[in-house]
Amino acid sequence: MARTEYFGRATNISSSAPFVELHQYLASHVAAIAPFVDQLMRFIRLFMGRFGIARKAEGEIEIAIFEALANAVIHGNHESADKNVDVICRCSMDGEVLVIVRDEGKGFESSAVPDPTEPERLLLTSGHGLYLMRALMDEVSFEENGTVVRMRKRVKTSRG
pLDDT band at 125 (very low <50, low <70, confident <90, very high): low
Answer whether residue 159 is part of any domain: no
> Structural domain tally of the chain?
1
Answer whether residue 160 is part of any domain: no
CATH at residue 53:
3.30.565.10
Domain extent, residue 121, equals 2-154
| pLDDT value, residue 128 | 80
Answer whether residue 113 is part of any domain: yes
Res 94 pLDDT > 70? yes
Average pLDDT over residues 86-101: 94
CA 5 to chain centre: 17
Is this model's pTM higher than 0.85 or not?
Answer: no
Greater confidence (94 vs 127) lies with 94
Res 15 pLDDT > 50? yes
CA 8 to chain centre: 19
Contact 102, 85 (CB under 8 A): yes
Strands (E), the chain: 2-11, 18-27, 84-92, 96-102, 139-143, 148-154
